[in-house]
Amino acid sequence: MTDTETGVPRNPLPRFEEAEGLGPQDAEFVEDLVAVLAKHGNLDRFGLCLLHDHFPLRAGEVLVETNDPVARTLHAHVEKADRTQHAKASQWRFVPHAGREPGAGPAGGSFQEIMLCTTLDLCPGRTDDRDGR
């Protein structure tokens, strides 16, 4: 599998049922990650998510997140990458240094966007009514 924007080979993600969540064995890793985020002032900007697939995306497709702040729900659906109006990435995936070309893509190709969101529907929430009241 290859990323459609960067051409970088991408390993398939495990299905949700097979993906291993954080556990006690990850304590040192999380402490190190927290220290790096704090060092760069990003502790309140980034976190962790469990990378997984529920279904494969075809070449030229992207996963898009929308929401309904009144119902307090999130929705994800597939769109064609060249036709989507959803322009703001909300999730990224790291790319191993060995599998990429120097200078390829953002941050030298060290990450790939895996989910997009839009400011058109005020994702990730309304500024005037964030809690639905």
pLDDT the model gives residue 118: 64
Q: Does residue 81 come out as left (phi exceeding 0), alpha (psi in the -120 to 50 range) or beta?
A: alpha
Does 94 score more than 70 pLDDT?
yes
pLDDT the model gives residue 10: 59
pLDDT the model gives residue 119: 56
Stated pTM of the model: 0.64
pLDDT the model gives residue 25: 96
Give the SS3 label for residue 103: coil
Strands ordered across the beta sheet of 73-80: 73-80, 61-68, 111-117, 88-94
* 89, β-bridge pairs: 116
Rounded CA separation 97/110 (Å): 7
Does 8 score more than 70 pLDDT?
no
Q: What are phi and psi of 116, to 5 degrees?
A: -110, 160
Q: What is the pLDDT of residues 31-78, one digit of tens each?
A: 999 999 999 999 999 998 888 888 888 888 888 888 888 888 888 899
The helix (H) or strand (E) run that includes residue 15 is none
